[in-house]
Amino acid sequence: MTMNTAALANRFRIAGALEFIETKDGLVKAVISRGGAAGELFLQGAQVTAWQPTGAQPVIFLSPRANLAPGKAIRGGIPVIFPWFGPHPNDPKAPQHGLARTAAWRLDRTEETADGVALEASLAVGGFALTYRAVFGDMLWLYLTARNISAQTAAFEEALHSYFAVSDVEGVSICGLETNGFIDKTADMRLGRAAGAPLRLTKETDRVYLDVPDRLAITDPGWNRRIVIEKSGAASTIVWNPWPEKAAAMGDLGADNWHGFVCVETGNVSDNRIELAPGATHEMTTRVRLDAQ
């Protein structure tokens, strides 16, 4: 059951802090503003598409060519990837990156807290019950909980596929992965060795890092800031930028938009996938904040 925008606003709006609007193609998004901080979340996919703390440049990138239409994956923001990451393991017809990002989530609760404006949504998918809480304030807090509602032990992969806005992807460096090897998706899944230094992107990059530390940072000299990503319950990090050639072939991105973002994704994928007994739950959290350089 989907509620129309008016009914949603009636039930969930918070005067001066949270409103609901509908895009021309009929998608509903929550628009958050509080004490100068701003944010957006689409109910389709429970997808954060904007977060900007007071007085700062945007932290989340949304492609200017993104499809904002029902059933289409939105290019940018923070897609929620569940219950599989990448191509389906044995069904080539199944959509890339699972079902949650194009599904209609149900909004369950909104509130103002000391940390910011919070929205809670839920979705039943693939034998799991998901709840997702996003809190928009001076920091961005994300909590994804999965409960196995089937009668069998079951496994899933998950990721918060965050597109972080940067001044220039060729100028940033990523700290926290110095001692981790990776699966290189640009080289037939070959294993890459730990670099021993912060990661700089110099070409198309698509890497899965396993068993990573709980704190990473993107240093951006162009905007004189660091985006700090702290997480729990998430053992994998994925780093991605398609570079110009692949970006040009993506209708919802284009060769003019690849420079302004880097994906640094929090998740549990590949050997870090999660297995849950019936009735068991798993929570993955991410907190994003800005540090001056």
Chain length of the chain: 293
Shortest gap between Cβ of 4 and ligand TA6 (angstroms)?
28
Alpha-carbon distances, residue 60 vs 2, 40, 43, 89, 174 (angstroms): 27, 10, 17, 30, 16
Show contacts with ligand TA6 in window 41-60 (CB under 6 A): none
Applying CB under 6 A, among 40, 120, 206, 220 the residue interacting with ligand TA6 is: 206
* By the rule CB under 6 A, 158 interacts with ligand TA6: no
Centroid of chain to Cα 70:
19
- Cβ–Cβ < 8 Å for 242, 256: no
* By the rule CB under 6 A, 240 interacts with ligand TA6: yes
* By the rule CB under 6 A, 248 interacts with ligand TA6: no
**Three-class SS state of 254:** coil
* By the rule CB under 6 A, 207 interacts with ligand TA6: no
Show contacts with ligand TA6 in window 131-150 (CB under 6 A): none
Bridge partners of residue 286, in order along the sequence: 142, 231
Rg (C-alpha) for the chain, rounded Å, is 18
Nearer to ligand TA6, 111 or 192 (CB): 192
Shortest gap between Cβ of 8 and ligand TA6 (angstroms)?
27
**Three-class SS state of 247:** helix
Nearer to ligand TA6, 1 or 191 (CB): 191
H/E segment holding residue 11: helix 5-12
* By the rule CB under 6 A, 254 interacts with ligand TA6: no
Shortest gap between Cβ of 108 and ligand TA6 (angstroms)?
26
Closest residue to ligand TA6 using C-beta atoms: 240
Shortest gap between Cβ of 36 and ligand TA6 (angstroms)?
31
Applying CB under 6 A, among 58, 86, 127, 213 the residue interacting with ligand TA6 is: 86
Shortest gap between Cβ of 186 and ligand TA6 (angstroms)?
9
Alpha carbon dihedral 235, 238, 239, 244, in 10-degree steps, equals 180
- Cβ–Cβ < 8 Å for 220, 212: no
Nearer to ligand TA6, 45 or 137 (CB): 45
Q: Which residue do the tokens 């690849």 mark?
A: 258
* By the rule CB under 6 A, 88 interacts with ligand TA6: no
Degrees, nearest 5: CA angle 252-216-213: 120
* By the rule CB under 6 A, 34 interacts with ligand TA6: no
* By the rule CB under 6 A, 96 interacts with ligand TA6: yes
Shortest gap between Cβ of 85 and ligand TA6 (angstroms)?
7
Q: Which structure tokens are listed for 268? A: 């549990």
Shortest gap between Cβ of 174 and ligand TA6 (angstroms)?
14
**How many CB atoms are closer than 10 A to CB 281?**
12
- End-to-end CA separation in angstroms for the chain: 46
Bridge partners of residue 164, in order along the sequence: 60, 262
Nearer to ligand TA6, 271 or 291 (CB): 271
* By the rule CB under 6 A, 65 interacts with ligand TA6: no
Contact residues: ligand TA6, CB under 6 A: 73, 86, 96-97, 161, 185, 206, 238, 240, 263, 265
